[in-house]
């Protein structure tokens, strides 16, 4: 079977992403046959005569004047709705005037659609590629004998997870609904938040094999057109056989590949997505995953939570300041401990210095080896806790850390002070709302430890300067990653480290 290839367009045409999933009129595709049996044989051969392919032949009304068939995949379509609204409607319709089928001036398919099918979502098809994509997407196909056209009806009916509370972004106060794996349900959740006609949606298929539905949502008039056009171009450039999760899209369209910092934000909360759209950002939704991508992204966005906007401004500001402190603590706590106790111990009070020296008496490893052992062990415990079943994962991570830490101290492998430093580092890393951003600082922490063991505080300062320089060089769809701290717009400081009262932010659609 001739494979359907994704459209590759360049330039500044907005039509590069079509709202219609199967608008491929600019390509030569195999048209439907006029004989019903030929169409059925083609579908059977294309799908390998799979056992879940259902083909139901019937006649329009009882005169057997016109033969039709319904083709669908068992498990992807709603069998009850097909029997009730399609097959029964076709078989029981007895007022059909046969003359209009023979009249060349009257479109029989339009008449058939208007007279017989009591279904809202009906799309006319004329080529084999669209037919196969529709069937494999869960839309039953209706074909008629003697016509090189048919219909796709919107009767998807697979089992899916409903709206549930997101597990990765829990809140004390705020909505409890989260995205699911159904892209149409996800777009509906966003439209429930923003009831505006300027909320536009564009869709396309990506993946030559999976043909995954990808959609972009934005607020027309608020979004930057240059950024929107850049999103369209990058999505159209993707050439891959399959898209199974939004992480595929994120890696393929990001500005910088070799960086530990995420430049595309992801969320599974509709309220977070709606707030981003109000600020002029663009949401990228991928069918089959509850995680929605938001572009462009800036650094403070990864340190903000939706709950910041549901509490008083003074409480939200305090929590945000604590998160920024947590970042520096998670990044620098082990390296500062190594640098001070190795090179700059004179800045410590004498009683504390004596206590640390006594704790390290009998420890056979240098501080850097001791820190790497503890940090590496903790990272392994955290990963094991994530991969283990939920009922025992948390217990293993907590009990394992306590048992191993205490046993390591009693065995003289590490000092108690190092255990405390590693514990503080772990706690502060959990305070970072974005898991991707927390991973970035987890990686950089080991580099800071090496610099601290080699050059002391000078190495830490050198590492911080390199990190800041790298952050300032990052871009997210052309927007500077550290834009809020560059003094471009004064009003954006109202919602970065601080969160001023809503009376000072009368419009939530201030662009960032």
pLDDT digits (tens, 9 = 90+) for 265-304: 999 999 999 999 999 999 999 999 999 999 999 998 999 9
> How many residues are present in the chain?
512
Q: How many domains are contained in the chain?
A: 3
Residues 74 and 178 occupy one common structural domain: no
Query: Which of residues 167 and 445 earns the better pLDDT score?
Result: 445
Average pLDDT, the chain: 82
pLDDT tens per residue, range 379-421: 888 887 777 776 565 666 666 666 777 777 777 788 888 888 9
Examine residue 496 and state whether it is found in any structural domain, yes or no.
no
Show which of 135, 153, 171 is a domain's final residue.
153
Average pLDDT, stretch 112-133? 79
Q: Which of 359-363, 414-418, 503-507 has the highest mean pLDDT?
A: 414-418
Examine residue 315 and state whether it is found in any structural domain, yes or no.
no
Instruction: Flag whether pLDDT at 2 surpasses 60.
Output: no
Quick one: what percent of the chain has pLDDT higher than 70? Answer: 82
Q: Render the burial of 129-166: b for 16+ CB within 10 Å, e for the rest.
A: bbbbbbbebbbbbbbbbebebbbbbbbbbeeeeebeeb
Domain range spanning residue 114? 31-153
Q: What is the largest CA-CA distance in the chain?
A: 105
Quick one: what percent of the chain has pLDDT higher than 90? Answer: 40
pLDDT computed for residue 29 by the predictor:
74
Residues 21 and 36 occupy one common structural domain: no
Residues 336 and 463 occupy one common structural domain: yes
Residues 243 and 107 occupy one common structural domain: no
Average pLDDT, stretch 472-500? 77
Residues 276 and 362 occupy one common structural domain: no
Q: Among residues 185, 142, 197, which one has the least CA distance to residue 290?
A: 185
Residues 106 and 245 occupy one common structural domain: no
Show which of 132, 153, 174 is a domain's final residue.
153
Angle at CA of residue 43, ends 40 and 46, nearest 5°: 150
Pairing of strands 212-219, 199-206: antiparallel
Distance (Å, whole) CA 259 – CA 490: 28
* Confidence category of residue 378, pLDDT binned at 50, 70, 90: confident
Residues 377 and 358 occupy one common structural domain: yes
Query: Which of residues 234 and 80 earns the better pLDDT score?
Result: 234
Q: Among residues 108, 180, 178, which one has the least CA distance to residue 150?
A: 108
What the block records as the tokens of 380 is 């392994």
Residue 214, SS3? Answer: strand
Instruction: Flag whether pLDDT at 99 surpasses 60.
Output: no
What the block records as the tokens of 327 is 């970042």
Q: Among residues 72, 96, 287, which one has the least CA distance to residue 179?
A: 287
What the block records as the tokens of 56 is 């139901």
Instruction: Flag whether pLDDT at 115 surpasses 80.
Output: no
pLDDT computed for residue 59 by the predictor:
79
Query: What number of CA atoms fall less than 13 Å from residue 51's CA on the CB side?
Result: 0
Q: Taking the model in full, what pTM does it have? A: 0.82
Distance (Å, whole) CA 5 – CA 27: 9
Residues 268 and 372 occupy one common structural domain: no
| Residue listed under structure tokens 């759209």 | 277
Examine residue 468 and state whether it is found in any structural domain, yes or no.
yes
Residues 60 and 194 occupy one common structural domain: no
Distance (Å, whole) CA 391 – CA 113: 53
pLDDT computed for residue 23 by the predictor:
40
Average pLDDT, stretch 147-156? 86
* Confidence category of residue 27, pLDDT binned at 50, 70, 90: very low
Instruction: Flag whether pLDDT at 122 surpasses 70.
Output: yes
Residues 331 and 479 occupy one common structural domain: yes
Q: Look at 22-31, 63-72, 211-220, 264-273 and tell me which has the smallest mean pLDDT.
A: 22-31
Residue 469, SS3? Answer: helix
């Amino acid at each position: 079977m001739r494979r359907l290839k994704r459209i590759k367009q360049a330039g500044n045409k907005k039509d590069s992403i079509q709202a219609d999933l199967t608008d491929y009129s600019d390509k030569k595709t195999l048209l439907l046959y006029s004989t019903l049996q030929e169409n059925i044989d083609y579908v059977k051969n294309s799908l390998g005569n799979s056992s879940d392919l259902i083909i139901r032949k019937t006649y329009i009304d009882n005169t057997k004047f016109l033969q039709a068939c319904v083709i669908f995949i068992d498990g992807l379509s709603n069998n009850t709705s097909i029997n009730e609204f399609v097959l029964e409607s076709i078989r029981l319709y007895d007022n059909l005037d046969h003359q209009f089928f023979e009249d060349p001036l009257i479109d029989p398919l339009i008449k058939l659609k208007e007279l017989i099918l009591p279904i809202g979502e009906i799309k006319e098809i004329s080529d084999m590629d669209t037919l196969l994509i529709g069937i494999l997407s869960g839309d039953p196909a209706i074909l008629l004998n003697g016509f090189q056209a048919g219909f796709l009806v919107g009767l998807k009916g697979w089992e899916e997870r409903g709206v549930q509370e997101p597990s990765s972004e829990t809140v004390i106060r705020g909505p409890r609904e989260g995205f699911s794996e159904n892209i149409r349900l996800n777009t509906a959740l966003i439209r429930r938040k923003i009831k505006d006609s300027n909320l536009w949606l564009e869709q396309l298929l990506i993946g030559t094999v999976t043909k995954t539905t990808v959609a972009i949502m934005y607020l027309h008039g608020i979004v930057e057109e240059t950024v929107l056009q850049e999103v369209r171009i990058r999505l159209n450039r993707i050439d891959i056989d399959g898209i199974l999760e939004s992480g595929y899209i994120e890696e393929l369209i990001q500005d910088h590949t070799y960086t530990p910092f995420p430049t595309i934000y992801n969320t599974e909360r509709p309220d977070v997505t709606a707030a981003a759209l109000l600020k002029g950002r663009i949401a990228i939704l991928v069918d089959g995953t509850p995680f929605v991508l938001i572009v462009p992204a800036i650094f403070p966005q990864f340190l903000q939570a939706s709950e910041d906007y549901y509490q008083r401004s003074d409480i939200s500001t305090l929590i945000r300041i604590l998160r920024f402190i947590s970042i520096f603590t998670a990044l620098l706590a082990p390296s500062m401990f190594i640098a001070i106790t190795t090179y700059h111990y004179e800045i410590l009070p004498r009683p504390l210095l004596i206590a640390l020296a006594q704790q390290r008496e009998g420890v056979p490893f240098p501080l850097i080896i001791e820190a790497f052992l503890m940090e590496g062990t903790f990272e392994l415990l955290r990963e094991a806790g994530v991969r283990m079943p939920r009922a025992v994962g948390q217990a293993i991570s907590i009990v394992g850390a306590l048992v191993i830490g205490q046993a390591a101290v009693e065995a003289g492998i590490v000092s108690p002070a190092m255990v405390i430093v590693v514990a503080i580092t772990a706690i502060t890393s959990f305070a970072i709302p974005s898991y991707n951003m927390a991973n970035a600082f987890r990686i950089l922490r080991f580099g800071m430890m090496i610099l601290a063991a080699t050059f002391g505080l000078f190495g830490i300062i050198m590492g911080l300067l390199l990190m800041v320089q790298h952050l300032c060089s990052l871009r997210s769809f052309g927007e500077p990653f550290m834009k809020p701290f560059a003094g471009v717009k004064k009003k954006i400081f109202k919602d970065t480290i601080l969160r001023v009262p809503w009376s000072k932010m009368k419009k939530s659609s201030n662009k960032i």
